[in-house]
Chains A and B, each alone.
Chain A
Amino acid sequence: MENIIAPENLVYQKPTLLNDVDMHYCPGCSHGVVHKLIAEVIEEMGITEKAIGISPVGCAVFAYKYIDIDWQEAAHGRAPAIASAIKRLWPDRLVFTYQGDGDLACIGTAETIHALNRGENIAIIFINNAIYGMTGGQMAPTTLMGMKTATCPYGRQADLHGYPLKITELAAQLEGTCYVTRQSVHSVAAIRKAKRAIRQAFENSVNRRGSSLVEIVSTCSSGWKKTPVEANKWMEEHMFDYYHVGDLKDTSKEAQ
């Protein structure tokens, strides 16, 4: 055993950009995995000195405590506006936002759609867990029909609450977007695909090919009131039916 533990035998390690601090995320939450992927991609691309992240209001509000790069903390929903300005003023930087569904698809819809439609050279990482996690499990714009939350305790109904918003499909229609994809991080295979998607989005930002949107269909075991294992299963059975995983648009290769 002693002989095996040697640097040359190392096959996996925590990315150095992921800070050695306790995360506040709940067990089973997807945020931690996505944070790790972002840290890995920035490190592998060798652009730590050029990376500027915009964190949201929501569960990821403290993203800046976990990934060791420069950050700006946005007001609720305004991250794409902040990112737009930074990227225009610092065109050679990697500029990305990290937002949840309440932040991106509800209060920040205008900023999201217009930043994408202008073709801002930014990457948006969009965590969709169909619920407001930080405030304690209220209905989100992405909450599925019939799904119970603190503010639709009898289940989401169209006449009372309207319909779940597929904002990623909307984004794919916009001329300004070059790469729009929906991924998940519930299995090793899915994590590898999600990482490739984040890498492509970040390369698009650095190389100024237009706007990229990477949606990650995610779990919220606390908000959904399920164990982490149950939450993963529920996501596969219910979320993927409505939020189909895969690329919706990719013109970034043509733009190269």
Chain B
Amino acid sequence: MKGNEAIAHAAIRCGCDGYFGYPITPQSEILETLAAEKPWETTGMVVLQAESEVASINMIYGGGGSGKRVMTSSSSPGVALMQEGLAYMAGAEIPGLIVNVQRGGPGLGTIQPSQGDYFQATRGGGNGDYYLIVLAPASVQEMADFVDLSFELAFKYRIPVMMLSDGVIGQVMEKVVLPPFKPRRTEEQIMAECPWASTGRKGMRPINVITSLELQPEAMEQHNLHLQEKYRTIRENEVRYEETMTEDAEYLIVAFGSAARIAQKAISDLRSQGVRIGLLRPITLWPFPTKRIQELSQQVKGILTFEINAGQMVEDVRLAVEGRTPVTQYGKMGGIVPTPDEVCQALRNDFDIK
């Protein structure tokens, strides 16, 4: 099935309580699949087509703030509209899942694939000092697997989690093993897991207020320090990446998502031509695998960052490498997806490999 369809099926199976979204290409199959599956008749999952992405993200705010496992999905221009809500969720520490099936930009851009929202996803596209956990699926299987993983991380840390996919992974059809069925949590389980949620003050417990507002600067500073402490913990514990043929590598490609799939083919071609090359695929874009890239930078003669944009993740790679080895970037924009041959050629040109 398509990556977008896999997300919808995985959501139903992993005990998701609600989906709220607005149609936009190339991810509308997520809402379409959910509407066709009618999970409200089986698991009781709510599915609602909202009036806008602005409304969608605020529905996630409300649902997550009341302890429910809720999600939305959109594509680049729609995710841009959600940034206000994401900042509020980060500030109020609300768990939730946001899927971005990226398309080319800026502005209305194109409906073709891109990875141009890396900065927006990893830097916090809204106001204030915050991060999202950002997962980058590179296959239909990961589109399915990362739904439950996202919810687990979101509730563990009370943080919005973004799956940063793109039009290739959303639209491509691959075999997939759907996750086992997991029931939605009961009211008692939700209250036990989320004692902070605004669910109505059962048993006349002290009230719960979901807010990001605090007018006393000292209190607001404390809240920010608490958030930064949480981000430090996440950096220590949740970095995920995958390595291919890095043990003896003289050169390294760093690529995520669909670009990593293309790079996979490029490194196997280059290996067969005698080039000792490896691939590092960040699975979490935030937290970024800084430490591992730092280690590999002491081993290799050069690093090519390959991403389907003008060069965004390359900044994080350079921050990790700190000048120890040359770092270059190759990518295309506007919805054009480079071929493995082009990636091989870029590497040969950049590092003068015959």
| Partner pick for B68 among A68, A81, A83, A89, CB 8 A cutoff | A89
Decide: B201 and A86 in contact? CB cutoff 8 A. Answer: no
Q: How far is the CB of A147 from chain B (nearest CB, A)?
A: 29
| Partner pick for B210 among A71, A78, A81, A111, CB 8 A cutoff | A71
Decide: B60 and A85 in contact? CB cutoff 8 A. Answer: yes
Residues of B within 8 A of A89 (CB): 17-18, 46, 62-63, 66, 68, 70
Most chain-A CB neighbours within 10 Å: which of B50, B62, B199? B62
Decide: B199 and A52 in contact? CB cutoff 8 A. Answer: yes
Residues of B within 8 A of A88 (CB): 18, 46, 48
Q: Quick one: given A51-B200, A52-B198, are A73 and B68 in contact (CB under 8 Å)?
A: no
Decide: B85 and A48 in contact? CB cutoff 8 A. Answer: no
Decide: B211 and A73 in contact? CB cutoff 8 A. Answer: yes
| Partner pick for B207 among A54, A68, A74, A81, CB 8 A cutoff | A68
A64 and B65 alpha carbons, distance in the complex (Å): 15
Answer yes or no: B58 CB below 8 A from chain A CBs: yes
Answer yes or no: A49 CB below 8 A from chain B CBs: yes
Decide: B18 and A85 in contact? CB cutoff 8 A. Answer: yes
Answer yes or no: B251 CB below 8 A from chain A CBs: no
Q: Quick one: given A52-B200, A81-B50, A85-B70, are A70 and B209 in contact (CB under 8 Å)?
A: yes
Q: Quick one: given A48-B201, A48-B204, A51-B200, are A85 and B88 in contact (CB under 8 Å)?
A: no
* Contacts between chains A and B (CB distance < 8 A), count: 123
| Partner pick for B212 among A73, A83, A94, A111, CB 8 A cutoff | A73
Q: Which residue of A lies closest to B40 (CB)?
A: A88
A8 and B276 alpha carbons, distance in the complex (Å): 91
Q: How many residues of chain A are within 8 Å of chain B by beta carbon?
A: 31
Answer yes or no: A72 CB below 8 A from chain B CBs: yes
Q: Encode B57-84 as 1/0 by CB contact (under 8 A) with A.
A: 0111111011010100000000000001
Decide: B201 and A114 in contact? CB cutoff 8 A. Answer: no
Q: Encode A211-240 as 1/0 by CB contact (under 8 A) with B.
A: 000000000000000000000000000000
Residues of A within 8 A of B54 (CB): 78, 81, 110-111
Q: Other than the known A73-B212, A89-B68, what 8 A-B pairs have Cβ atoms closer than 8 Å?
A: A49-B202, A49-B204, A70-B201, A72-B209, A78-B55, A82-B65, A89-B66, A89-B70
* Among all A-B residue pairs, the 8 with the closest Cβ atoms: A82-B62, A73-B211, A85-B59, A114-B51, A70-B198, A85-B62, A81-B58, A78-B58
* Residues of A bordering B, CB below 8 Å: 48-52, 54, 61, 64, 68-75, 78, 81-86, 88-90, 93-94, 110-111, 114
